[in-house]
Structure 1
Amino acid sequence: MRTRLWFAGAAVAAVICVGGLAFASVTVGSAAPALVVPELDGQTFDLSAQRGKVVIVNFWATWCPPCRKEMPALDAFYRRYHGNGLEMIGVSADRPHDRSDVIKVMQSLSYPAAMLDDAKVNDFGPPNELPVTFVVDSGGVLRAEFTPDQTPVTEKSLTDTVLPLLPQTSATHASLKPGTLQ
């Protein structure tokens, strides 16, 4: 009996360590982790297939007030720059039985979403805080991580971080002023 308990404990510890290592490998400046997840509309989002585009990956939940607060800025930014090589996925950390709540929230937003529990591959690991937003450049390199306590997602933080990565002229960058996303 003790042997079974020891093995069970060791197995749990191994899972926790692997999960921790997966999240620890998410480092700005390194290759973006793999992410393959079915979107709510049935299409598959594969981060590695987005090479050539800048991608925003936002982990959020319906019950998270800071998550909901930043969603309008994310949506406005996506609407404005989607045609310029920007892709985005909102990955909900809600439980599977809350899928209808996630769908309801996403109905007012234009960017695609998915459920974290549905991920086929998630080398980002489980988020240790919500919201957390990553910016991946067109070469597949992680360029930024936004969290409310470090660098919150705002119109300005998105503009400053993402616009230089998009294939636009420098005149377009210089002419954009905060408050002009919509």
Structure 2
Amino acid sequence: MYAKTPLRWFVLCCCLFSLPSWAIDVGEHAPGLTAKTLNGETFDLHQQANQVVIVNFWASWCEPCREEMPAMQSYYQRHKSEGLKIIAISMDEPEDDAMVRKVMASYSYPAAFQRDADFSAFGRIWRMPMTYVIDKQGIVRKDGSVGAPKIDLPLLEKLVTPLLTAH
């Protein structure tokens, strides 16, 4: 979970302390999030009406982050036709762009670099992975705070599947 070099640790700390410290809570409307994805498309959370959206903040050097990604990919493949969207925001530094692209080549859901995304309304992204689930009405149903369980298929089935079938 920690940066692997002193420079990364310093940059991460600077980022953490320069962003607002509030967090969004379950039951609140999701804040805005826009991003230019790795393939050049635009993702706008507020334009995902009637979709269930998983927002995943991750980094290529974060082992727990990479451990969750296959479950999200599998779940996404099974449920994208039912209105599931995933956006993965890489918190990596520019020197790791090649590694981010290499990791994401195995996944079909979109990703973006943090520098190409505006997620400031989410508050401080202070740990990774940090994952949010937003229902069809734009309400946060899972926040990414402390104590959040690891994302795996059973959790996705339990938490997200009912949101996909809700009207």
> Structure 1 residue 145: deviation in Å?
2.3
Residues 1:64 and 1:18: Cα distance change in structure 2 (over 3 Å): closer
Of residues 141, 144, 158 in structure 2, which corresponds to 1:143? 141
> Structure 1 residue 151: deviation in Å?
1.4
Of residues 58, 61, 74 in structure 2, which corresponds to 1:60? 58
Structure 1: distance between partners of 2:62 and 2:166 = 34
The code of the aligned residue for 2:21 comes to G
Of residues 71, 94, 97 in structure 1, which corresponds to 2:95? 97
Structure 1: distance between partners of 2:118 and 2:126 = 20
- Cα contact 1:55–1:88 (8 A) shared by 2: yes
Structure 2: distance between partners of 1:154 and 1:18 = 29
> Structure 1 residue 99: deviation in Å?
1.4
Map Cα deviations across residues 62-121 of structure 1 (whole Å, 9 max, x no partner). Answer: 000000101100100011100011011011100122111111100011111001122145
Structure 2: distance between partners of 1:102 and 1:47 = 22
Runs ≥4 residues deviating over 4 A: 15-18, 146-149
The code of the aligned residue for 1:140 comes to G
Structure 1: distance between partners of 2:128 and 2:19 = 20
- Cα contact 1:62–1:105 (8 A) shared by 2: yes
The code of the aligned residue for 1:138 comes to K
- Cα contact 2:34–2:117 (8 A) shared by 1: yes
> Structure 1 residue 32: deviation in Å?
0.5
Of residues 74, 80, 90 in structure 2, which corresponds to 1:82? 80
Q: Which runs of 5+ in 1 are unaligned?
A: 1-14, 170-182
The equivalences for 1:7-156 within 5 A come to 16=17, 19-21=20-22, 24=23, 26-146=24-144, 149-156=147-154
Q: What SS class does the counterpart of residue 27 from structure 2 fall into?
A: coil
Structure 2: distance between partners of 1:103 and 1:148 = 28
- Cα contact 1:36–1:122 (8 A) shared by 2: no
Structure 2: distance between partners of 1:59 and 1:164 = 23
Across the aligned residues of Structure 1 and Structure 2, the Cα RMSD in angstroms comes to: 2.1
Residues 1:40 and 1:46: Cα distance change in structure 2 (over 3 Å): same
- Cα contact 2:19–2:124 (8 A) shared by 1: no
Structure 1: distance between partners of 2:83 and 2:133 = 13
Q: Could you tell me the percent identity over the aligned residues?
A: 42
> Structure 1 residue 18: deviation in Å?
5.7
The code of the aligned residue for 2:153 comes to E
- Cα contact 1:130–1:147 (8 A) shared by 2: no
Structure 1: distance between partners of 2:74 and 2:85 = 13
Q: Which runs of 5+ in 2 are unaligned?
A: 1-15
> Which TM-score applies when normalising by structure 2?
0.84
